[in-house]
Amino acid sequence: MKESKRTTPILLILSSVVGFALLFAGATLVGQQKQASEEEKDQSTVRTITATVPGRDWRITASEGPREPASIGSYALRLYVPFDAEWPFDNYVDGEVRVRDGSLEQVLFSDLNNDKIMDVIVVARSAGSGGYLRVDGFLLQAEDISFLHSVDGLASDADPIDSLKSDMEKAD
């Protein structure tokens, strides 16, 4: 009988340790799943526009910043020059991060500096009642992208390329 009395406390301690370990493991797993779902949610809210530079196999992406409001924040413009057409985003070569007032609406192309290479135009529309436009122009040269000029407060129906070129002429 004495042996069974000694065994009972040991079994109780052992079962308590095992129970605590299972509880801790379960809480850790739930925490990891919650963190993973929050990270997935953060990534799913990133808006990205992808475009191919006319006449080249170069790719441009413009992505709103993660965790930022839709109406303001930043965007990243990235240039990819792929090694292989099957993998168009395998060779990042340059990029810029710019302030954003509004949501990204489109990526356009036009030769802004008359060098016969299409340059990049990023258009954002404000979240306000006027829906005004902001247009950023970037020079695209031999695997390099650089900010050129910006114009904002444009009417919601303004032509982004003509407006940018006109404002650039005024600035010269």
**Structural domain boundaries enclosing 78:** 48-171
What local confidence, expressed as pLDDT, does residue 141 receive?
A: 84
Per-residue pLDDT band for 154 (boundaries 50, 70, 90) equals very high
> Does residue 54 sit in the same domain as residue 36?
no
User: What's 136's domain CATH number?
Assistant: 2.40.128.460
What local confidence, expressed as pLDDT, does residue 128 receive?
A: 83
Per-residue pLDDT band for 98 (boundaries 50, 70, 90) equals very high
> Does residue 100 sit in the same domain as residue 131?
yes
> Does residue 73 sit in the same domain as residue 6?
no
> Does residue 37 sit in the same domain as residue 54?
no
> Does residue 93 sit in the same domain as residue 8?
no
What local confidence, expressed as pLDDT, does residue 25 receive?
A: 55
> Does residue 6 sit in the same domain as residue 56?
no
Query: CB 95: neighbour CB atoms within 10 A?
Result: 16
When divided into structural domains, the chain yields a total of: 2
Per-residue pLDDT reduced to its tens digit, 72-90: 999 999 999 999 989 999 9
Is pLDDT above 80 for 116? Answer: yes
Instruction: Judge if pTM exceeds 0.85.
Output: no
> Does residue 19 sit in the same domain as residue 72?
no
